[in-house]
Amino acid sequence: MEESIFIGATRHMDILHDRLHEQLKSLVNEGLQVRMEESPDGKFTFVACNFIGLGAGQKRKYVRTVCMDNVANTICEIILNHWEKVILENLIKETFYYFNAEERNTILSHALEHISNKDEAVYITYRHQRKKKILSELSEFLSTNNYIVIDGFIRFRLKDYVNELYEVAEQAVDEFLMEREYREFIQLLKYFVDIQDPRVSCVNVTMDADGVFKLYDENGELIDNNNMEEFMIEFISSEINYEDLLISSLVTVAPSEIVFHFQPKKNQKVTVETIKKVFPGKVRYCSGCPLCDKGKQPQN
């Protein structure tokens, strides 16, 4: 006895055809004949999978289930590996149309990074959750249907999955806006530095174990932040932390050179990178001197 399933889509059908061929090899090895035929229909391409020799009764039911499981797994992998990017791209284009093409591409990159988490354990768990949802819908659909169009299936049967991707796109937009604000902040600080003459030629920065910094001029004299109030930029708030105050102080002094007499800890690296961007080519690390030792000493 013979049974067929027809799979159609507007894209990635060459990949689907090849993956199905590989996936169904095991069925051929078990004596089941599989004949695949591909045909175009407008903007769609259809692949017909003809299963010959399903048998009858319980055997037919079992063999059909195995066939549909193989087809479902293949379609699921195609959706995850190839359609996901297309879905995200379309969601971003349709929802966040007010960004230009370059900005939307940046947002898409952020979204793809999110679903391809660098933490392998997180990535595997998140991908498994998405795969489980897609497979569940595919299995239910193919249990009563021998005809599936992937485009329509995604739109109408995978709404929860698409909504998840929409949330990923929203998060990517937030990240993009934060990055843009950060770049604008850097440009503003650079502007303040550029429009004023250096108050000292070199600022030496030390940091104690508690994260409290001190600034010294080129002669090793302490620069007292309390005496700099008249020069402080207006947008600095009273709730400023040490890292913000360090950046503000350096911008206020606008030195020609900045020397760090400590190696930044993990939570200080963002601050140091910001300073490097505001003072490009003016930042260096000291390899060892009395000021380096002074920063290590306990503070009274």
Ranked by mean pLDDT, the top range of 93-97, 125-129, 225-229 is 93-97
Grade residue 300 by pLDDT with cuts at 50, 70 and 90. Answer: very low
SS3 state of residue 149: strand
Cβ-contact 110, 172 below 8 angstroms: yes
Local structure of residue 79 (DSSP, 8 states): I
Cβ burial 174-200 (10 Å sphere, 16+ → b, else e): ebbeeeeeeeeeeeebeeebeeeeeeb
Q: What is the pLDDT of residues 157-208, one digit of tens each?
A: 999 999 999 999 999 999 999 999 999 999 999 999 999 888 889 999 988 7
81, 117, 141, 156, 168 from 127: Cα distances, Å:
10, 10, 21, 21, 13
Distance CA 39, CA 44 (A): 9
Task: Give the mean pLDDT of 265-281.
Answer: 89
The stretch 218-228 carries a mean pLDDT of 71
Which of the residue ranges 103-112, 118-127, 187-196, 250-259 has the most confident prediction, judged by mean pLDDT? 103-112
| pLDDT attached to residue 121 | 75
What confidence score (pLDDT) does residue 30 get?
A: 67
Model pLDDT, residue 241: 61
26 phi, psi to nearest 5 deg: -65, -35
Please, are residues 270 and 290 in contact by the beta-carbon 8 Å criterion?
A: no
pLDDT at 233 over 50: no
Among residues 84, 79, 92, 6, the alpha carbon closest in space to that of 45 is found at 6
List 213's β-bridge partners, or say none: 207
pLDDT above 70 coverage of the chain, percent: 88
pLDDT at 204: 93
Structure tokens at 74: 């293949």
Which carries the bigger pLDDT value, residue 76 or residue 127? 76
The predicted pLDDT at position 238 comes to 43
Please determine, for residue 237, whether its predicted confidence score (pLDDT) is greater than 50: no
**pLDDT reported for residue 249:** 86
Q: Say which residue, 174 or 26, is predicted with more confidence.
A: 174
Given a contact cutoff of 8 angstroms between Cβ atoms, the answer to whether 33 and 52 are in contact is yes
